[in-house]
Structure 1
Amino acid sequence: MSVSRLYPIFADLASRPVLVVGGGCVAERKIAGLLEAGADITVGAPALTQPLQAWVAAGRIRWISGIFAGDWLTNAWLVIAATDDRGVNAAVAEAGREQRVFVNVVDDAALSSFQVPAVVDRAPLVVAISSGGAAPVLARMVREKLETLLDPSLGSLARFAERWRDRIRQQLRDLGQRRRFLEKLFSGPVADLVRAGREEDADAALAHQLAPGTVPAAPGHVVLVGAGPGDPGLLTLKGLRALNEADVILHDRLVSPEVLQLARRDAHFVEVGKESGTHHTTQARIHELLLQYARAGKRVVRLKGGDPFVFGRGGEELEVLRDAGIPYEVVPGITAALACAAYAGIPLTHRDHAQSARLVTAHCKDSLDTLDWRALAAERQTLAVYMGVAGLDRLSSQLIAHGRQPQTPVAIIENGSRREQRVILGTLESLGRIAQEHTVKSPALLLLGEVAALGKSLHWFGAAPIIDAPAETGAPDLARAA
């Protein structure tokens, strides 16, 4: 059974009716948390633990004594079933469905309509972790790790920010300027004073920072970020930080959804993808957008697949920003040649096969016309070709015509580093045919050279490579090079 994706929500239960069915130790733990949230709690069960009886006697909770009945749910905002009888729990869940009330059945995701997450409590800052009921122990392990990472003083810092929230909003009406101010506040000397318990000094320091004329207007800024080839784990820490600070993200078509999900949820996303033969957004228009948003005082991330300075036109974009006086910085990414080769188990260099590697672009006829074919056809080197699928026949024929052996191993890596990665192994003379037969589509990278044959024996990620073996044509034994 697949696990449903849950919509995260924090419920305000203060003074709202909540029903807990069950009177044992599990119910006791659940009620303790609900009391902290200020819920109006009714517990229904034939018998109660001593602590629950004491809470009833003290008027903190109400008790319905008896066997569960559907009318117990009347007026309840949500329900927790915490009995050791699955039949009773199922009856509670069914009553919840009929009455449209959310029900959590403890340790039974199939019966539950909501899950209670593992919690890291730095009230009012709360971090909730859920596995959707698939692996609650794993969620608790994640919580334990976060407990060690998140300073206990974060709660005090959150309460301090809450006291100053209205004044900060009045003083800094621009959302981007206010966000940047708060980022500095939470990591600067004011936060240090709060952590040290010196809140009066922190108040004075913040009042000084908010004095008229002391908060400068927010300048626009652009960060070129390399997103890598697709696996979000290959995004650099600096790139992740830039994505979480961005007001606007201009991203290429090939940036993976998993990478985009790491960015700030309230950032403005603009796809500026370009595809061979179909230009969704011209480069000139990308330049216009960069200037437009930066001049409006926005913090802009130009997010590019791979590395912005490897066939990414990042240099052109920096020239435009420099000429316009817009401040910028560059966060490099792992380019496709490095990542795709690694994820296919193909070393770009190898002392037995290749002493050098060349990065080449062959996206269109014009780029093919400018290549130094004689140099590219030299032996004992690896070519990493950022490819346009339509040009493979010509690429193959030119390399063979200039001296590269027709039997030279090649590897086409489609969607490198992603779950759907596909690796096709063949030879230089079969290159165009195998790309057509296997309907290769971008994003794809071609590796050409003796090292490509190692993909047969060294592959480790995703499905095993597809090995082209045309019948009786003198095709090479790819294992020989391995």
Structure 2
Amino acid sequence: MDYLPIFADLKQRPVLVVGGGEVAARKIDLLLRAGAEVRVVAQALSGEVESLHQQSDVLWLSQSYQPEQLDDVFLVIAATDDTELNARVYEDANQRRVLANVVDDQPKCSFIFPSIVDRSPIVVAISSSGQAPVLARMLREKLETLLPASLGKMAEIAGSWRERVKQRFNSMSARRRFWEQAFDGRFASLTAGGQFDEAEQALKQLMDEPDEATHQGMVTLVGAGPGDVGLLTLRGLQVMQQADVVLYDFLVSDEVLDLVRRDAEKICVGKRAGNHLVMQEETNRLLVDLAKQGKKVVRLKGGDPFIFGRGGEELEVVAAAGIPFQVVPGITAAAGATAYAGIPLTHRERAQSVMFITGQIRTDGNGLQWSELARGQQTLAIYMGAMKASDISHHLIAHGRAAETPVAVIGRGTRADQQVLTGTLQNLEQLAQQAPSPALLVIGEVVELHHKLAWFGHHPETAGAQRPTVVNLA
């Protein structure tokens, strides 16, 4: 190893920073987060460093560097544009056996700053020994996506329980098994969901009844987004990577399913219009039975599970069975598909409100306030409406919506083969018949902006993807 990786305790220890510009400010921020007593030597201070000085967070020692300023410091950082001054700081520090870092000059560093993933008190440091800092940064970014923000709180709670666990389990191997079960079980899941009191109860139960506690599972309801795998939330990805079993529906794209943990069991409980392969009652029963087997169950739903996704119904059953649960929201189809189609849901000149409704309406139209839905200057985003497009068009026109109102039918929104078909309300049924499933109906003046704002399929990031089809039946 070129460098020994260590973590230094800088609390209340004096550290000297030579330089007061933007680069120095970044180093000062790290030092203050570690609790260091920061002293600055610089001819002038940047706005950020000046603000810290005014707040007495740092001490502006002087405008000129003197070797004696190193006599009682723990380490020193040289961050000036003067290479000769930086070299002199490094040599003076070496003579005094003070650790030194000259920014962007690796040969003149007796210590270096790694790329950091901060989940305090959990901290991950990545270093290339100064050889490839951009590569180290890219690795850090990957780790940021894999390590949940809750790790720090989990470690904090665990630290408060260490003595109790030591008293409960005499052998080191027993304590290790306890913490392995805790960090891979309900304690971890509850902490990730912000349920800290419940998480501590799970620790207590695991300590008092380890065999019983390991047989308790939980359910996490996850929104998979409208299709594009890039729209899956970071939290959703982390939960999917921890699942023992995943129940998914047809709206979840294959690309999203590919991100599920490889050894997790995957069960399709999908439904399509007129073809419920798995009845809702059976899905509810599976959620409860699998969780009671001690499994971490993920219920993966397209879009957002609380917007026409029956997520609330399923969680009512889970809650009634006394099973702990969490919800990870997703990007709903109306938000994702319209954004990818270049159709803003609201616009100051064209739509002052937006309504999300389901197209699963009765043929007589009863059950919906058509007079409210038919108002102008508002956007209607209609889920599952393709099969009822004729009825929807008829009722809206009958209640005053102009037949020439712009409409769009977005098929397979956000996916590489997305299709955007535009026209007017009077030919909504024809458009819906041409659109691939799943399809979202959008009705309102904002649809006119599609021809100005359409971007998906024409953007460099989507080069090579199948170009979305656009049909105009105006």
TM-score between the two structures when normalised by the length of structure 2: 0.56
Q: Distance in 1 between matches of 2:287 and 2:266?
A: 13
In structure 1, the partner of 2:311 is 314
In structure 2, the partner of 1:154 is none
C-alpha displacement of 1:461: 0.3
Q: Which of 338, 341, 345 matches 1:341?
A: 338
In structure 2, the partner of 1:402 is 399
Q: Distance in 2 between matches of 1:316 and 1:171?
A: 37
Q: Distance in 2 between matches of 1:431 and 1:181?
A: 49
**2:381 is aligned with 1:384:** yes
**2:331 is aligned with 1:327:** no
Answer yes or no: is the 8 Å Cα contact 1:169–1:178 preserved in 2.
no
Any idea what SS the aligned residue of 1:453 has? helix
Q: 1:441 to 1:148 in 2, by over 3 A?
A: closer
Answer yes or no: is the 8 Å Cα contact 2:409–2:420 preserved in 1.
yes
Paired residues in the alignment total 296
Answer yes or no: is the 8 Å Cα contact 1:455–1:465 preserved in 2.
no
Q: 1:214 to 1:220 in 2, by over 3 A?
A: closer
**2:254 is aligned with 1:261:** no
In structure 1, the partner of 2:450 is 455
Q: Distance in 1 between matches of 2:295 and 2:376?
A: 50
Q: Distance in 2 between matches of 1:372 and 1:353?
A: 22
Q: Distance in 2 between matches of 1:150 and 1:400?
A: 53
Q: 1:169 to 1:279 in 2, by over 3 A?
A: farther
C-alpha displacement of 1:243: 0.7
Answer yes or no: is the 8 Å Cα contact 2:416–2:468 preserved in 1.
no
AA at the equivalent of 2:258: Q
The residue correspondences of 1:462-473 to structure 2 (distance < 5 A) are 462=457, 463=467, 466-469=470-473
Q: Distance in 2 between matches of 1:282 and 1:256?
A: 21
AA at the equivalent of 1:450: E
Any idea what SS the aligned residue of 2:440 has? strand
In structure 1, stretches of 5+ residues that fail to align are 1-139, 152-166, 188-209, 470-474, 476-482
Q: Which of 437, 440, 444 matches 1:442?
A: 437
In structure 2, the partner of 1:195 is none
Any idea what SS the aligned residue of 1:403 has? coil
- Identity level (%): 49
In structure 2, the partner of 1:233 is 230
In structure 1, the partner of 2:73 is none
C-alpha displacement of 1:385: 0.3
Any idea what SS the aligned residue of 1:350 has? coil
In structure 2, the partner of 1:180 is 185
AA at the equivalent of 2:442: L
Q: Which of 283, 286, 291 matches 1:289?
A: 286
Q: Distance in 1 between matches of 2:400 and 2:142?
A: 59
Q: Distance in 2 between matches of 1:458 and 1:241?
A: 33
In structure 1, the partner of 2:97 is none
C-alpha displacement of 1:380: 0.5
In structure 2, the partner of 1:270 is 267
The residue correspondences of 1:119-268 to structure 2 (distance < 5 A) are 145-146=138-139, 179-180=184-185, 217-218=213-214, 219-268=216-265
Q: 1:367 to 1:224 in 2, by over 3 A?
A: farther
Q: Distance in 2 between matches of 1:424 and 1:272?
A: 30
TM-score between the two structures when normalised by the length of structure 1: 0.55
Deviations along 1:193-215, one digit per CA (max 9) or x if unpaired, are xxxxxxxxxxxxxxxxx999667
Q: Distance in 2 between matches of 1:148 and 1:232?
A: 18
Deviations along 1:198-233, one digit per CA (max 9) or x if unpaired, are xxxxxxxxxxxx999667622211111111101111
Alpha-carbon RMSD across the aligned residues, in angstroms, is 3.6
Answer yes or no: is the 8 Å Cα contact 2:379–2:446 preserved in 1.
yes
Any idea what SS the aligned residue of 2:240 has? helix
Deviations along 1:250-285, one digit per CA (max 9) or x if unpaired, are 111110111111121111111100000100111101
Deviations along 1:6-31, one digit per CA (max 9) or x if unpaired, are xxxxxxxxxxxxxxxxxxxxxxxxxx
Q: 1:168 to 1:445 in 2, by over 3 A?
A: farther
Q: 1:398 to 1:150 in 2, by over 3 A?
A: closer
